[in-house]
Structure 1
Amino acid sequence: MAFLGDSVARNHMQSLICLLSRVEYPKDDSSGDHGELTSKHYITYNFTLANFWSPYLVKYEKVQNNGSGIGNLFNLYLDELDEEWTRKISEFDYVIVSAGHWFALPAAFYINRERIGCHSCKLENVSDLTTFYGYQMAIRSTFEALNGMENYKGITYLRTFSPSHFENGTWDHGGHCHRTKPYKRNETTLEGDSLKYYIIQLEEFKKAKEEGEKRGLKHRLLDITRVMLLRPDGHPDTHGHWIHDQRILHNDCLHWCLPGPIDTWNDFLLHMIQMESKS
């Protein structure tokens, strides 16, 4: 089983590892200088659980001193896939695609190695195509690659967008998530950027599913968006670091580090895999 995506996917994988480690200690086959591939092999069950750290899914690079005046800027090559996962993914039976929040960072977009626009890059004479353009193109390229791989026969799961819960400010301007109880259904609604990312996923998933079926491939939607929208209590908030830490640190209302909410994803996934065996 392979996870493609960002740190939220990694949290999901760690939860699964904890579950499986109760019965067997896995062999660590991880590689990469910066944790690009985290891989655990459970010998008794002949089962490998891997996380491919690929926050943009496509090829990318961080550019410093880029002339934008905003510090780090990411160049995203929207028609070129990240080789960290494309080189090995065809051998997996289940692949979970999970990416989203990194696309909110400033980025320049490239197609055919030519810059076509950006998102919040502040570069002169460069059109702002918005984060949603880059996200849609990256998701589309990812599915096109999976559908086009000659040896890939696995089931692809698209894990939908996981909303953050910042209140009274953004992540870097005083936002917090102090709530200790879940929302009721009538207390909140999916809106803004989270809704746009979610709609893009649904649109690209539908097209990819239709194309994949022509090759006999299966695509499944692991939809956790609206469920997680109701769990503002599941983030570490100010408790993600030592209370006496003197550094300037931001509240974390994005990652799911508390028991409960993210474990639900595993329940959904296990049920979906079991349903496949019955079909």
Structure 2
Amino acid sequence: MDIGGQSEQLGELSENKALYYYGRKGCREMGKLLETLHEIQVEEFDAAEKEAKNKGRGERCDLLRYLWLVSSRSENMVPDIWMQTKEVVWYRGLFLIRSMKIEVLELLKSNYLQQKNIPKGVLALPLTLLVVVVLIPLIINLHESYSNLYYSGSLESIENFTCNIFSGNWVAYSEGPYYDNQNCPFITYKQNCFMHGRPDREFLNWRWKPDECELPLFDAKQFLKLVGGKSMAFVGDSIGRNQMESLLCLLNSVARPEDITDRYTLNDDKYFKWWFYARYNFTVAILWSPFLVKSSQKYLNDTSFSNAENLYVDEADEAWTTHIANFDYVIFSGGQWFFRPLTFYEKGRVVGCQKCHDLVTEPLNLYGYRNALRTAFRTVVNLKGFKGMVFLVTHSPNHFENGEWNKGGGCNRTMPMRKEESALVKPYGLEEFYESQVEEFIVAEKEGREKGLRFGLMNITGVMLMRPDGHPDKYGHNLDGNVNINDCVHWCMPGPVDTWNQFLLHFITIPI
């Protein structure tokens, strides 16, 4: 399974998208400055031209005006000469112009200059003026105006921005975890592996290292400073809750939140939670919606997996749609619940099903998942008043070995895999879910961008495929309890799931 290869392709997509965003922001600032410079140039040129004509030098001024206008127009207006700027990256207020060239070859080769009796050497004057009068002041102005406000890193850190942070390996790290299970009160009982007797701690001594750059460690103070006055919602199933609780534990060394759930719901504080950091005016919530769309919710009373859940794949779940309009960050995750028997409804009628007759032999039908994800994205893109950033956390892999989840399968490894080794691992349905997510995300990101929304793909699938050692396994419950199902789906806390919030911090640090 080549999740790593697809991750590298997504890295290119993310880089191109980043160049687009930063180039777009930079071009807005460039446009403002160019308008001002152009006005000054026109005024000064008109004055000089008037003075020159009074002295009988009108023809030379006409020639200079022609060349100046040609060199300042777009390539669509004047195809023979244009200025082409490649890879202009806007990063925290600083323009990096990696390669800039002025294409005059076609004009020099054409007969136009000969027909007009214009010496080719005369091009040197307007082109030199273009560089001296426009480009150099522009770069200096931009640097002086914005570097003090935003830029505090090195050129190396700027180059790291274009790195694919999801392509790499886990490397040894002797410093250990950010927190332990005894000093964080937010860990769900079933993910508190050490409380249930997990004896090994070696799985905590690893950190994620991208191939071409460094991923900064999580900084709780920096995170809270960035999200001050904002709100963040995790929408999905217990995997999303796993990440949210990891975030609460990571922030716990700096600030302790207040549970304000009763302000929003009086009936269900098991699946829905709101936390508030008063000092930073920051709210974080988990909105339970395992299918993202409306369902019959049979799962609440039926854990046998034998009865089909009804999914209305064209109707987003009101459990989250009624809350997120004012959130600044919305983080979608999920997919684990789409392995069970499902009946798909669209426009009120049945359009298909999954595992309708045989739970074992019938293949997955991803029609339901694709359309549920599509409906969720379209809902948030078209949600009136929503101006936040949307993340998708790609599918979190399970690692059942020596049997299926309900037939004695477990995950008792104590070391990460290397990338090459994980490429041979093929969890049931993982590749299909992953491809569906990426394809739907690309479409949604394009639609959202057209409406001024920002999207981020947290591509954790290949990263976590290397961590079969990070699950609770049999340490997700009391060892003397009457439970014989091992947990190779969720993640121990502390553990590799904390890296997801390093990725999250990386995303929100980018000033898009």
Asked if residue 233 in structure 1 is aligned to residue 469 in structure 2, the reply is yes
Q: Describe the SS at the equivalent of 1:79.
A: strand
Relative distance call for 1:238 and 1:173 in structure 2 (3 A) is: same
What's the Cα RMSD here? 1.8
Relative distance call for 1:129 and 1:182 in structure 2 (3 A) is: closer
Aligned-partner Cα distance in 1 for 2:483–2:258? 38
Deviations 1:33-89 (A, max 9, x none): 25332110111101001110100000111349xxxx964321111011110100010
Aligned partner of 2:440 among 184, 204, 210: 204
Structure 1 stretches lacking a partner, 5+ long: none
How far has the Cα of 1:17 moved from its partner? 1.0
Aligned partner of 2:501 among 263, 266, 269: 266
- Counterpart of 1:2? 233
Q: Describe the SS at the equivalent of 1:212.
A: helix
Tell which structure's C-alpha radius of gyration is larger: 2
Residues 24-33 or 45-54, more deviating:
24-33
Asked if residue 118 in structure 1 is aligned to residue 375 in structure 2, the reply is no
Relative distance call for 1:7 and 1:70 in structure 2 (3 A) is: closer
Aligned-partner Cα distance in 2 for 1:70–1:16? 31
- Counterpart of 1:163? 397
- Amino acid across the alignment from 1:242: N
Q: How does 1:237-252 map to 2 (within 5 A)?
A: 237-245=473-481, 247-252=482-487
Q: Describe the SS at the equivalent of 2:484.
A: coil
- Counterpart of 2:319? 84
Aligned-partner Cα distance in 1 for 2:298–2:244? 29
- Counterpart of 1:59? 294
Aligned-partner Cα distance in 2 for 1:236–1:102? 19
Task: Answer whether contact 1:117 1:129 (CA < 8 A) is retained.
Answer: no
Structure 2 stretches lacking a partner, 5+ long: 1-231
Aligned-partner Cα distance in 2 for 1:39–1:8? 17
Deviations 1:130-159 (A, max 9, x none): 341111111000001011112100000100
Aligned partner of 1:153 among 383, 387, 401: 387
- Amino acid across the alignment from 1:100: G
Q: TM-score w.r.t. structure 2 length?
A: 0.50
Higher helix share: 2
Q: Describe the SS at the equivalent of 2:499.
A: helix
Q: Describe the SS at the equivalent of 1:49.
A: strand
How far has the Cα of 1:24 moved from its partner? 2.7
Asked if residue 216 in structure 1 is aligned to residue 447 in structure 2, the reply is no
Q: How does 1:14-29 map to 2 (within 5 A)?
A: 14-29=245-260
Aligned-partner Cα distance in 2 for 1:197–1:132? 8
Task: Answer whether contact 1:62 1:73 (CA < 8 A) is retained.
Answer: no
Aligned-partner Cα distance in 1 for 2:236–2:461? 16
Aligned partner of 1:105 among 336, 340, 346: 340
Task: Answer whether contact 1:62 1:72 (CA < 8 A) is retained.
Answer: no
Aligned-partner Cα distance in 1 for 2:440–2:289? 19
Q: Describe the SS at the equivalent of 1:146.
A: helix
Aligned-partner Cα distance in 2 for 1:137–1:195? 17
- Counterpart of 1:95? 330
Q: Describe the SS at the equivalent of 1:261.
A: coil
Q: Describe the SS at the equivalent of 1:17.
A: helix
Residues 163-172 or 252-261, more deviating:
252-261
Relative distance call for 1:34 and 1:42 in structure 2 (3 A) is: closer
Q: TM-score w.r.t. structure 1 length?
A: 0.91
Asked if residue 185 in structure 1 is aligned to residue 416 in structure 2, the reply is no
- Counterpart of 2:53? none
Task: Answer whether contact 2:246 2:494 (CA < 8 A) is retained.
Answer: no
- Amino acid across the alignment from 1:11: N
Asked if residue 50 in structure 1 is aligned to residue 285 in structure 2, the reply is yes
Q: How does 1:33-48 map to 2 (within 5 A)?
A: 33=268, 35-48=270-283
Question: Where do 4+ consecutive residues of structure 1 move more than 3 Å?
Answer: 69-72, 128-131
Residues 189-198 or 45-54, more deviating:
189-198
Deviations 1:229-253 (A, max 9, x none): 00000001011112211x2420110
- Amino acid across the alignment from 1:234: G
- Amino acid across the alignment from 2:453: L
Aligned length: 268
Task: Answer whether contact 2:477 2:483 (CA < 8 A) is retained.
Answer: no
Relative distance call for 1:263 and 1:70 in structure 2 (3 A) is: closer
